[in-house]
Structure 1
Amino acid sequence: MSSTQSADLKAYMADNPGAVIEDVARERNVTPRAVIEAMPPTMVRIGAGSQFAAAMQDIAQWGEVTLIVHTVDAIFEFTGAIPAGEVGRGYFNLMQPKGSNKGLHGHLRHERCDAIAFVERPFMGKSSAFVAFINVDGGIMFKVFVGRDETRALRGDQLKRFQSLADSLASAKAA
């Protein structure tokens, strides 16, 4: 991306911090990572993808969250607790209690995670906070959103966990 394109993207994201990341990436022919990195520095912190397992283990203790997978063809949303997991046979395996196959479960290619972005921004008129797991191609593997309470406000306990995890795994994004 040229310096002009980068400056234009930063200006756009400063004016539109709640824009749908994947849509902006597609419209501007850049990666979702480039869009996240173009957001105002006060809204984004980025950590190493090598911390994938640590981040997922922490998130497994947050309670009900929303996990979103956004592709060009669909947006999948799961609301519930993220199960704990462990690395085995080349995957980070989300583990369900013995004998259960309900709720979220699966096998994640954790070694393709290149970065973990912690994003706090306005979205559709409300504050939002999410963790984006970014792959080696600059795409978003999935996002985990801090849950909301009965008034649709961010859950304070989860927001504290989110910020603590960001503090431990990420550094402030360079301007």
Structure 2
Amino acid sequence: MLSTELAELKAYMAANPGAVIEDVARERKVTPRAVLEALPDGMVRIGAGEFAAAMQDIAEWGEVTLIVHTEDAIFEFTGAIPTGEVGRGYFNLIQPKGLHGHLRHDRCAAIAFVERPFMGKASAFIAFINSAGGFMFKVFVGRDETRALRGDQLRRFHALADRLLPRMG
């Protein structure tokens, strides 16, 4: 990305931190990861992370929302994420009903912890980013009955970020 394009993207995200990341990426012909990296300081932490460790921790959080956003659809699952294990080249979600399946954990190049405003409310999510800079999926911290972020999950979110992506200095 040219420095002028990067500067424009950073300015846009500073003015619109709640923009739909995938839409911005498509409109500006950049990856969703590039859009995350353009968010204002303090809104995102990105690093290599450990896919299986992150998923096992999230499985203990209770009800969250997992979103898969493609060009053709946005799939949302709200509920507890099942535990999983690595086998036969996949991270296998162990559950016979509800959310289950096989995730290509080896394609996860980075994990991002994002806190930003979205539609007038605070939001927090973990983005699992593939080697092409796209989102594999996102897991959002749940909300309580008042639609505020669940404090217990937000604490787990911060603890997981600190464990997987320790801050330097």
- Give the TM interval when normalised to the shorter protein: over 0.9
Percentage of matched positions with identical amino acids = 82
2:27 paired residue number: 27
Unaligned runs of 5+ in 2: none
Aligned mates of 2:17, 2:11 — CA distance in 1: 10
CA separation in 1, counterparts of 2:43 and 2:167?
9
The separation in 1 between residues aligned to 2:166 and 2:15, in whole angstroms, is 24
SS of equivalent to 1:41:
coil
Deviation at residue 169 of structure 1 after TM alignment: 1.0
Aligned match of 1:65: 64
Aligned length: 168
- CA offsets per residue over residues 2-27 of structure 1, 9 Å max, x none? 01101110111011000000000000
* 3-state SS in 2 of match to 1:42: coil
User: Are 1:52 and 2:47 matched, yes or no?
Assistant: no
CA distance in 2, matches of 1:161, 1:120: 13
The answer to whether the 8 Å contact 1:41/1:172 transfers is: no
Give, in whole Å, the separation in 1 of the partners of 2:33 and 2:100.
26
TM-score (norm 1): 0.94
Unaligned runs of 5+ in 1: none
Within 5 A, what are the aligned runs for 1:67-146?
67-96=66-95, 101-146=96-141
Q: Select 2:142's aligned residue among 143, 147, 150.
A: 147
Give the residue type in structure 2 aligned to 1:159.
Answer: L
CA separation of 1:35 and 1:94: change in aligned 2, threshold 3 A: same
**Equivalent-residue separation in structure 2 for 1:105 and 1:144 (angstroms):** 15
Greater relative CO (CA pairs within 8 A, separation 6+): 1
1:165 aligns with 2:160: yes
Cα separation, 2, equivalents of 1:165 and 1:5: 33
The two structures have a TM-score, normalised by structure 2, of 0.97
For 2:121 and 2:127, the matched residues in 1 are separated by 18
